[in-house]
């Protein structure tokens, strides 16, 4: 693991639940027993948080590697998430099996972005939602963010604009694309984009 990845694995910011809170309170409308797929779980803190916040939900947390995983430090809810090691462009998961697919601060560095969205659409149930919470590609911090990521985390990093995300989701057959912003932070550093599967 390189230096920047080691630093990331220790930073409290990577444990932040604010992006998930905003999504659950203002963007998604999930049933209590929702089946949720989180792509890019990283340390696992976010999956553990979701299991506490949504105790009746069934959560699957996926990552291509678990070198940053903090399993011994995680506090789970009553139902522990299922942790799966796999590649996002080729999900080893059944079609139409999830109420929501979450990509929180991870889509910007994934390979084959169109394939990832197609796979997310495939595993969503009819009426299910894809959520991408990530860096706003129109924000002035886009370039510095990408530069730092390219330096030591991922050469693939690209901060997507809402227009790019709309095109990717529509190509995958998703509909009702909408971008959400924190109140008072319209066009801010973070955006929340939601698209739905017809059903």
Q: Angle at Cα 148 formed by Cα 158 and Cα 15, nearest 5°?
A: 85
**Span 90-94, average pLDDT:** 97
Q: What is the CATH number of the domain that holds 59?
A: 3.40.50.150
**For residues 92 and 12, which has the higher predicted lDDT (pLDDT)?**
92
Percent of the chain with pLDDT over 90: 73
Q: Please state the domain count of the chain.
A: 1
Give the model confidence (pLDDT) of 64-86 as tens digits: 887 666 666 678 889 999 999 99
Phi, psi of 161 (to 5 degrees): -85, 160
Kindly tell me if the per-residue pLDDT of 9 is higher than 80: no
Neighbours of 95 (CB within 10 A): 12
Q: How far apart are CA 55 and CA 60, in angstroms?
A: 13
Give the confidence band of 152 by pLDDT, cuts at 50, 70, 90.
confident
Give me the pLDDT at residue 15, please: 41
Task: Provide the β-strand partners of residue 191.
Answer: 134
The strand order across the sheet containing 124-135 reads 82-85, 58-63, 35-39, 98-104, 124-135, 190-196, 175-180
Kindly tell me if the per-residue pLDDT of 6 is higher than 60: no
Task: Provide the β-strand partners of residue 186.
Answer: none
**Span 39-60, average pLDDT:** 92
Phi, psi of 51 (to 5 degrees): -65, -30
**Span 160-185, average pLDDT:** 97
Give the confidence band of 41 by pLDDT, cuts at 50, 70, 90.
confident
Give me the pLDDT at residue 13, please: 39
**What's the domain range around 125?**
3-196
SS (H, E, C) 105-151: CCHHHCCCHHHHHHHHHHHEEEEEEEEEEEECCCCCCHHHHHHHHHH
Number of H helices, E strands in the chain: 6, 7
Which residue reads 């963010």 in tokens? 145
Mean pLDDT of the chain: 89
Distance of CA 89 to the CA centre of its chain: 14
Judge contact between 123 and 94, C-beta under 8 A: yes
Instruction: Indicate the helix (H) or strand (E) that contains 48.
Output: helix 45-53
Give the model confidence (pLDDT) of 18-31 as tens digits: 899 999 999 999 99
């Amino acid at each position: 693991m390189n230096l920047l990845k080691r630093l990331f694995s220790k930073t409290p910011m990577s444990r932040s639940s604010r992006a998930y809170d905003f999504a659950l309170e203002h963007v998604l409308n999930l049933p209590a027993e929702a089946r949720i797929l989180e792509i890019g779980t990283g340390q696992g803190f976010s999956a553990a948080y979701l299991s506490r916040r949504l105790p009746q939900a069934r959560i699957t947390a996926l990552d291509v590697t678990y070198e940053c995983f903090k399993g011994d430090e995680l506090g789970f809810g009553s139902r522990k998430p299922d942790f799966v090691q796999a590649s996002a462009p080729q999900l080893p998961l059944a079609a139409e099996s999830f109420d929501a697919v979450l990509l929180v601060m991870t889509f910007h560095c994934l390979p084959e972005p169109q394939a990832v969205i197609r796979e997310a659409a495939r595993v969503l149930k009819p009426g299910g939602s894809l959520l991408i919470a990530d860096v706003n590609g129109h924000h002035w911090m886009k370039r510095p963010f990408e530069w730092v990521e390219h330096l030591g985390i991922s050469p693939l990093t690209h901060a997507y604009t809402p227009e790019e995300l709309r095109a990717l989701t529509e190509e995958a057959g998703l509909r009702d694309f909408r971008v959400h912003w924190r109140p008072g932070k319209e066009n801010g550093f973070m955006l929340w984009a939601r698209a739905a599967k017809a059903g």
